[in-house]
């Protein structure tokens, strides 16, 4: 069975509305002969003449009268489906978004983000997931709606991204750490025991890259997957944690922070999402809120 041409629904709706081949042709921008052929195709599909001549006019058959309301509703639904989404009212959205981000992001920006959403879109819920691996599979398979992080070589090319803010590294130790007694030279810094970020490959951490350029290396005692864990260890040991300043602002409470004695390139924290969500109004709204909160 051949699939009927669904464009004929619009043609039928206009023919039944106008009751005239000529007027229907003008509305659709067709010639009268093309409209007549379309009417014949409709007759073939429905097995009914639909419009028959009565004097100088065309009048609908009982079958056409029966179809009139149904066709009009179908056409309106189709037009709505194929039109841009209506303006979003955040207060009416009922939806859960899953964000993949570091514990530092949740600690520093989560409260403000939740407060803003609770005020403007109380039906939106956020689910924060920790980063357990450095790939884009979560965004691709739809289990994550938005990710925050540094764009790297492993970031999928098809993802969309927008920068949130730039950050620089600082060194952090416990209050009373021996390194704080006297000038913090590069040699003293590198000679301390360090806790490193295991999410970077060996030698690829920005700190080690900077030290390697000076033919120096730090003494890495242990490694952890996240800045919060690194700071937790440094808070209660003699270890030095080197972390992004803004990203860990509230995680470094009651600890001593000082500038690095070596130049390390800044990092840019971005948000990433899959192209299928790019035009989604609620997702667009959430992205704007995340960006504004990070800019505050």
CATH number at residue 153: 3.40.190.10
Tell me, yes or no, whether 146 and 284 share the same domain: yes
Position 86 in a domain: no
Position 35 in a domain: yes
Phi-psi region of 284 (alpha: psi -120 to 50; beta: other; left: phi over 0): alpha
Position 1 in a domain: no
Tell me, yes or no, whether 186 and 219 share the same domain: yes
Cβ contact 122:153 at 8 Å:
no
Cβ contact 101:149 at 8 Å:
yes
Spatial separation of the C-alpha atoms in residues 243 and 9, rounded to whole Å: 63
Position 29 in a domain: yes
Helix, strand counts (H, E) of the chain: 10, 12
Tell me, yes or no, whether 155 and 101 share the same domain: yes
Tell me, yes or no, whether 183 and 156 share the same domain: no
Strands 124-129 and 95-100: parallel
Q: How many other CB atoms are found less than 10 A from the CB of residue 145?
A: 23
Position 72 in a domain: yes
Tell me, yes or no, whether 232 and 203 share the same domain: yes
The number of folded domains in the chain is 3
pLDDT value of residue 193: 95
pLDDT value of residue 237: 96
Last residue of a domain, one of 35, 52, 81: 81
Tell me, yes or no, whether 41 and 107 share the same domain: no
Residue range of the domain that includes 107: 92-163+271-295
Question: What CATH number does residue 30 fall under?
Answer: 1.10.10.10
What is the full per-residue pLDDT of the chain (296 aa) written as tens digits?
467 778 888 888 888 888 888 888 898 898 989 988 988 988 988 888 988 888 778 888 889 888 887 888 888 887 777 777 678 899 999 999 999 998 888 988 999 999 999 999 999 999 999 887 677 788 888 899 999 988 877 777 889 999 999 999 999 999 999 999 999 999 999 999 999 887 765 546 889 989 999 999 999 999 998 888 999 999 999 999 999 998 888 889 899 999 999 999 899 999 999 999 998 999 999 999 999 999 88
Position 246 in a domain: yes
How does DSSP assign 120-180, residue by residue?
A: H-TTEEEEEE---SSSSHHHHHTS-SEEEEE--TTS-TT-EEEEEEEE-EEEEEETT-GGG
Rg (CA), the chain: 32
SS3 199: coil
Q: What are phi and psi of 119, to 5 degrees?
A: -80, -40
């Amino acid at each position: 069975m051949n699939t009927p041409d669904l464009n004929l629904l619009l043609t039928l709706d206009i023919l039944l509305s106008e009751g005239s081949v000529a007027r229907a042709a003008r509305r659709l921008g067709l010639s009268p002969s093309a409209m007549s052929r379309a009417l014949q195709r409709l007759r073939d599909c429905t097995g009914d003449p639909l419009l028959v001549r009565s004097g100088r006019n065309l009048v609908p058959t009982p079958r056409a009268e029966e179809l009139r309301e149904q066709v009009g509703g179908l056409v309106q639904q189709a037009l709505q489906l194929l039109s841009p989404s209506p303006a979003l009212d955040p207060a009416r959205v009922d939806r859960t978004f899953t964000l993949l981000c570091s514990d530092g992001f949740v600690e520093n920006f989560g409260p403000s983000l939740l407060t803003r959403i609770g005020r403007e879109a109380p039906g939106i819920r956020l689910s924060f997931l920790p980063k357990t691996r450095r790939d884009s599979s979560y965004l691709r398979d739809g289990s994550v709606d938005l990710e925050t992080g540094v764009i790297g070589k492993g970031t999928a090319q098809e993802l969309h991204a927008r920068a949130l803010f730039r950050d620089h590294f600082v060194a952090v130790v416990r209050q009373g750490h021996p390194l704080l007694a006297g000038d913090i030279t590069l040699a003293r810094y590198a000679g301390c025991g360090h806790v490193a970020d295991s999410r970077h490959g060996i030698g690829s951490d920005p700190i080690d890259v900077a030290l390697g350029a000076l033919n120096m290396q730090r003494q890495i005692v242990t490694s952890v997957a996240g800045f919060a864990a690194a700071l937790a260890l440094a808070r209660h040991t003699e270890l030095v944690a080197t972390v992004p300043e803004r990203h860990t602002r509230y995680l470094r409470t009651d600890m001593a922070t000082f500038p690095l004695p070596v130049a390390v390139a800044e990092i840019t924290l971005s948000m990433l999402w899959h192209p299928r969500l790019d035009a989604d109004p609620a997702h667009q709204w959430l992205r704007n809120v995340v960006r504004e909160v990070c800019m505050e």
